[in-house]
Every structure is written in structure tokens, then in C-alpha cells.
Amino acid sequence: MDFIPSNLEPTEQTEPAWWFAFSKHKLLVEQADETVAVPWIRDLAEFNLEPIRKQYLGTLNGHPCYSAELPDGAPEPDGMSFLGLRRLFGLMEETFYKIAGLGFEIVKWDQTHQYCSRCGASTEKKHDERAKICPECGLVNYPRISPAIIVAITKNDQILLARANHFPTKLYSVIAGYVELGESLEECVRREIREEVGIEVKNIRYFGSQSWPYTNSMMIGFTSEYASGEIRVDEVEIADAGWFDADNLPRLPGWGSIAKQLIDWFLESR
């Protein structure tokens, strides 16, 4: 499937469109067996739904795509329901899921940038790019993402896995954290590891990246090797951590996440 993002909305909508409509951060979908689909209709009014705001996202195989913010408590049309993005992971075709993530982030950004943060005036859409502009002071605001690192740490034939305080019981994963102002990605890797588990690492290597729309993040993955120190969990974010052999792993994140990709890389490389 060919998705072309754009903010240049057609002047006239004469054909059906894909609608990624959210109420309380949950997406409106039709569920059948083990798959779900978003509505392909001309307008949400066909479902007696009136969006607070809508945003043009681009085209999918030549057909327009829109995101929309619906009121809290919007009724579910017959045969449809509102489901959170995490619950939809793996149920939607990958391209649709990525567009849903994009729509989710744009809906939240649009919702929180109705007024200028510098002078308080109402903002307007900037027509030549995805941005909001203040007609009074000229301040331009773009959608923003929060960069975060996620890193696999190996020691000989073991990998360091940790259980965060907010994880479900017995779930372990690799170390992750947000990049702070003034940091390089590599500096963030070292700091997060030092803060959360108290060790030093070496041979930091880029692995890959993944959009993480749930928290408006871009997850940037790395691999690294143990250098020195003993594990000391911070007990604020991390409840437990340890070195694990490939044949003795705890409960792990689900497929599709970059955390699971990093752990799979460890398993394949061993």
C-alpha cells in the first residue's frame, strides 16, 4: 500500500475517504473475526458523528485519509467500537496502523495548540506545511516528537533485562529513556543505563528506530556491551534487573516492538 502524507487538503471531497476518528484517544473501528478496519466513507455524518476538528493526513493508494477528534462519549455506530491503539497492535494491516498512529499524534497536537503559547491568541492552520501559526505575533508551532533511546546490553552470552515499576508482573525488557536537552543519543544511552541499573557500557552501536505514537515518541534503538560496575537498580523506575541467558529468559514484550526486535537480535546473534 502506498501512503503519501500531505497537509494540502483537496478543495472538494467527492469520493470516500479513510477516517481515523478518535474519542478519548480510542480509534473507531469495525471488528470482524481477528481483524479490524477503519471506516471508508465520505463523511462521518453518515454515522451521525460530528467531529470537533478534522485533519487531512494524505492519500492511501490515491484515496484521501483524515483523522478526526470526536467528543468524549461519542456513540458507537452499529457494528463498530472504539479501541485503544495498543489493543489494536497486530490486528490492523501495518500501513493502516502506522496511519492510525500518525492521526493519533496529529489529533493530540491539534487539540493542544489551539492558542498561541506566547501571546494567547487563537492559532490558525499554516497552509503550506503541517504547522499552526499565530496571526498576532507570528509564532509557528510544528508537531513535535520526544526522542527516546532503547538499548540492549550484552555481557558475554547474557543480556541485561529489567522490570520497570509500571510493567505488568514478571514482564522484563531492555533499558529505555527519554533524551534530555543538550544530550547526544550516545550520552543518553550511558546516562539512562547508569541511572537505572548503575553500570557502564561500551561499543554503543545504532540498531534501528520505531515511531511510538502512544507517547509521541521516536524510539531509537542501540546495542552495547557491558564495561564495568555491579547492577544497582534505582528503585524509582526499575523494580528489578539481572543478566539472563538465551535459554532462560523471563516474560518479554510482544512482537512488533523494537524492544522485542533487540531481544531477538541477541538471541539470533548467540
What pLDDT is attached to residue 241? 97
What pLDDT is attached to residue 39? 96
Residues 6 or more apart in contact with residue 184 via CB below 8 angstroms: none
* Closest by Cα among 55, 42, 35, 163 to 99: 55
Spatial separation of the C-alpha atoms in residues 133 and 231, rounded to whole Å = 48
Cell reading at 196: 537505572
What pLDDT is attached to residue 173? 97
Query: Which domains are seen in the chain, by residue range?
Result: 3-111 (3.90.79.20), 146-269 (3.90.79.10)
What pLDDT is attached to residue 234? 93
Cβ(63)–Cβ(6) under 8 Å?
no
What pLDDT is attached to residue 201? 98
* Closest by Cα among 53, 172, 41 to 106: 53
pLDDT mean for each 10 residues of the chain (270 residues): 92 90 96 88 96 97 97 95 91 93 97 97 95 98 96 97 90 97 98 98 98 94 98 94 96 90 94
CA pseudo-torsion sign 188, 155, 219, 175: negative
What pLDDT is attached to residue 72? 95
User: What is the pTM assigned to this prediction?
Assistant: 0.90
Query: For the segment 28-70, what is each residue's pLDDT rounded down to a tens digit?
Result: 999 887 789 999 999 999 999 999 999 999 999 999 999 999 9
Block residue for cell numbers 531492555: 174
Cβ(161)–Cβ(250) under 8 Å?
yes
Spatial separation of the C-alpha atoms in residues 268 and 270, rounded to whole Å = 5
DSSP letters spanning 97-152: HHHHHHHHHHHHHHHT-SB-TTT-PBPEE-TTSS-EE-TTT--EE----EEEEEEE
What pLDDT is attached to residue 91? 87
What pLDDT is attached to residue 168? 81
